[in-house]
Chains A and B, each alone.
Chain A
Amino acid sequence: QRIMVNHQVDKVKRECVVWAIALLSNGTVVSADSFGRVQFWDWQQGTLTESHTISTSAALSLAVSEREDSMVVGTSTGATYQLQLLPVKLGGSEKRWVRTKPFQFHTHDVRAVAHSPTALISGGLDAQLVIRPLMERVQRKGYDTVLRKFTFPHRRLVSCARKARLLLFQFSQYLELWRLGSTEETGKDGEVLPVCRMPEHLVQLKSKGPEHIYCSCVSPCGTWLGYSTASRFQLYRVRCDGDGVSLSKVPKVPKLLPPAYQLQFSADSESLFVASARGSVHVFQLLEPGGCKHLHTLQPPSGCSEAVYLLAPSADGHWLAAVSGDWAIHIYNLKCFKHHCVVPTYGCAVSALAIHPSTNNLVIAYSDQQLLEFSIPERQYTSWSRAVQSRGLHRIWLERDSPITHIAFNPKNPSHILLHDTYLLCIIDKSLPLPDDSALLMNQSALKQLPETARKRQLHAFKICKKFQ
Chain B
Amino acid sequence: ISDQKPLGCWSVKHGQILTCPVVCNFETHEYIAVHDDKVLRIWKNEDINLDKAFKATLSADVYRIHSLPHGGPVVLFRGGAVRTLDVLLEAPQQEIENVISGEVIRWSGAFMEGQQPVLIFTTEKGGDFFVYVQKPKLSSVHRYKLEQQESAKPLCFTAHVTNQTVTLLCLYSNDSVYQVLIPLQQDTEEEEEEEKEEILSKSLLLNLSVSGAVLKGTSLVVLDKDHVAVLGSLAAPGKERRECLTIWNTKFQTLQTSKELPLGTSGQLWCYEEKFFLIHGKVLTVIMYKCETSSLAAAVGKLKDSQTPDVSLFLNWNTLEDEELVVSFQSQESVALKAESRMNLRSRSTAAEEQPATLSVGQRLLNLKGASTYVLETELKKLMAKAPTPDLQATIGCVVTALTDRCKRNPKYYPQNFLQEIVETHNLSYSLCPDLMSVALEKNDMHLLQMCLERFPDIPEEVTYTCLKAFLSMSEAHLQSIDVDVDSVICYIDVEMDDKEVKTEIVENGFSAEMDQDMCDTKFPKESHFRSEEESCPVGLQKAALLNAVLHSAYTETFLLPHLKNLPAQQAILFLRYLYYLYVKCSEKVNTTLPGIRSPTINQIMDWMCLLLDAQFTVMVMLPEAKELLSNLHKFVRAQVRFYSELNKIEGSLQELQRLNHLRESQTYSIEVLEII
A-B complex is real: yes
A91 and B672 contact, CB distance less than 8 A: no
Q: Give how many A residues have a beta carbon under 8 Å from the other chain's beta carbons.
A: 41
Which chain A residues border B310 with CB–CB below 8 Å?
89-91
CA distance A7 to B283 in the complex (A): 12
B2 and A41 contact, CB distance less than 8 A: yes
B2 and A3 contact, CB distance less than 8 A: yes
A189 and B3 contact, CB distance less than 8 A: no
Take A47-B286, A188-B675 as given contacts and tell me if A199 and B669 are in contact as well, using a CB distance cutoff of 8 Å: yes
Check: B558 CB closer than 8 A to any chain A CB: no
CB-nearest residue of chain B to A92? B310
CB-nearest residue of chain B to A44? B7
**Segment of A60-68, A341-349, A386-394, A459-467 engaged in the interface with chain B:** A459-467
CB distance from B248 to the nearest CB of A (A): 24
CB distance from A190 to the nearest CB of B (A): 7
B2 and A186 contact, CB distance less than 8 A: no
CA distance A304 to B470 in the complex (A): 93
B677 and A46 contact, CB distance less than 8 A: no
Which chain A residues border B1 with CB–CB below 8 Å?
45-47
A427 and B676 contact, CB distance less than 8 A: yes
Q: Give how many B residues have a beta carbon under 8 Å from the other chain's beta carbons.
A: 20
CB-nearest residue of chain B to A5? B2
Please classify the interface of chain A as helix (H, G, I), strand (E, B), loop, or mixed, using the class held by over half of its residues: loop
Which chain A residues border B671 with CB–CB below 8 Å?
181-183, 192-193, 195
CA distance A35 to B311 in the complex (A): 38
Check: B674 CB closer than 8 A to any chain A CB: yes
CA distance A186 to B671 in the complex (A): 10
Check: A104 CB closer than 8 A to any chain B CB: no
B7 and A2 contact, CB distance less than 8 A: no
Which chain A residues border B672 with CB–CB below 8 Å?
190-193
Which chain A residues border B307 with CB–CB below 8 Å?
88-89
Please encode chain B, from 1 to 28, with 1 for each CB lying within 8 Å of some chain A CB and 0 for all others: 1110101000000000000000000000
B674 and A195 contact, CB distance less than 8 A: no
CA distance A67 to B307 in the complex (A): 24
CB distance from A181 to the nearest CB of B (A): 6
A4 and B3 contact, CB distance less than 8 A: yes
Check: B622 CB closer than 8 A to any chain A CB: no
Q: Which of B649-677 contact A (CB under 8 A)?
A: 669-677
A191 and B286 contact, CB distance less than 8 A: no
Which chain B residues border A5 with CB–CB below 8 Å?
2
Q: Which of A46, A199, A455, A459 contacts B2 (CB 8 A)?
A: A46
Check: A256 CB closer than 8 A to any chain B CB: no
B673 and A193 contact, CB distance less than 8 A: yes
CA distance A45 to B674 in the complex (A): 69
CA distance A448 to B672 in the complex (A): 17
Check: B238 CB closer than 8 A to any chain A CB: no
Which chain A residues border B673 with CB–CB below 8 Å?
186-191, 193
Check: B309 CB closer than 8 A to any chain A CB: yes
Q: Which of B249-282 contact A (CB under 8 A)?
A: none
Q: Which of A25-51 contact B (CB under 8 A)?
A: 41, 44-48, 50-51
B674 and A189 contact, CB distance less than 8 A: yes
Check: A100 CB closer than 8 A to any chain B CB: no
CB-nearest residue of chain A to B313? A90
Which chain A residues border B53 with CB–CB below 8 Å?
none
Please classify the interface of chain B as helix (H, G, I), strand (E, B), loop, or mixed, using the class held by over half of its residues: loop
CB distance from A25 to the nearest CB of B (A): 21
Check: B288 CB closer than 8 A to any chain A CB: yes
Please encode chain A, from 161 to 189, with 1 for each CB lying within 8 Å of some chain B CB and 0 for all others: 00000000000000000000111001111
A195 and B670 contact, CB distance less than 8 A: yes
B676 and A463 contact, CB distance less than 8 A: yes
CB distance from B262 to the nearest CB of A (A): 11
Which chain A residues border B677 with CB–CB below 8 Å?
444, 447-448, 455, 459, 463
CB distance from B341 to the nearest CB of A (A): 16
CB distance from A204 to the nearest CB of B (A): 17
Check: A198 CB closer than 8 A to any chain B CB: yes
Q: Which of A415-469 contact B (CB under 8 A)?
A: 427, 444, 447-448, 455, 459, 463, 465, 467
CB distance from A267 to the nearest CB of B (A): 26
Which chain B residues border A190 with CB–CB below 8 Å?
672-675
Please encode chain B, from 289 to 312, with 1 for each CB lying within 8 Å of some chain A CB and 0 for all others: 000000000000000000101110
Which chain A residues border B311 with CB–CB below 8 Å?
90-91
CB distance from A80 to the nearest CB of B (A): 24
CB-nearest residue of chain A to B672? A192
Take A90-B310, A465-B674 as given contacts and tell me if A198 and B669 are in contact as well, using a CB distance cutoff of 8 Å: yes
Take A91-B311, A188-B673, A190-B673 as given contacts and tell me if A51 and B2 are in contact as well, using a CB distance cutoff of 8 Å: no
Q: Which of A351-389 contact B (CB under 8 A)?
A: none
CB distance from A205 to the nearest CB of B (A): 21
B286 and A48 contact, CB distance less than 8 A: yes
B2 and A467 contact, CB distance less than 8 A: no
Which chain B residues border A44 with CB–CB below 8 Å?
7
A48 and B669 contact, CB distance less than 8 A: no
Take A48-B288, A90-B309, A198-B669 as given contacts and tell me if A4 and B2 are in contact as well, using a CB distance cutoff of 8 Å: yes
CB distance from B74 to the nearest CB of A (A): 26
CB distance from B282 to the nearest CB of A (A): 14
A181 and B674 contact, CB distance less than 8 A: no
CA distance A150 to B675 in the complex (A): 29
CB distance from B263 to the nearest CB of A (A): 11
Please encode chain A, from 1 to 35, with 1 for each CB lying within 8 Å of some chain B CB and 0 for all others: 11111010000000000000000000000000000
B669 and A181 contact, CB distance less than 8 A: yes
CB-nearest residue of chain A to B285? A7
CB distance from A463 to the nearest CB of B (A): 5
Which chain A residues border B674 with CB–CB below 8 Å?
189-190, 465, 467
CB-nearest residue of chain B to A459? B677
CA distance A342 to B421 in the complex (A): 81
Please encode chain B, from 179 to 201, with 1 for each CB lying within 8 Å of some chain A CB and 0 for all others: 00000000000000000000000
Take A181-B669, A198-B669 as given contacts and tell me if A45 and B7 are in contact as well, using a CB distance cutoff of 8 Å: yes
CA distance A62 to B615 in the complex (A): 56
CA distance A191 to B673 in the complex (A): 5
In the A-B complex, the 10 residue pairs with the smallest Cβ-Cβ separation, listed nearest first, are A189-B675, A90-B309, A4-B2, A447-B677, A2-B3, A187-B673, A463-B676, A3-B2, A193-B671, A183-B671
Question: Which residues on A are within 8 Å of B, measured CB to CB?
Answer: 1-5, 7, 41, 44-48, 50-51, 88-91, 181-183, 186-193, 195, 198-199, 427, 444, 447-448, 455, 459, 463, 465, 467
Question: What would 26 A/B residue contacts be, using CB atoms closer than 8 Å?
Answer: A2-B2, A3-B2, A4-B3, A7-B3, A45-B7, A46-B3, A47-B1, A48-B2, A88-B307, A90-B310, A90-B311, A181-B671, A182-B671, A187-B673, A189-B674, A190-B673, A190-B675, A191-B672, A192-B671, A193-B670, A193-B673, A195-B669, A444-B677, A455-B677, A465-B676, A467-B674
Question: Which residues on B are within 8 Å of A, measured CB to CB?
Answer: 1-3, 5, 7, 286, 288, 307, 309-311, 669-677
Given contacts A46-B3, A90-B309, 6 further A-B contacts (CB under 8 A): A7-B2, A47-B1, A188-B673, A190-B675, A192-B671, A455-B677
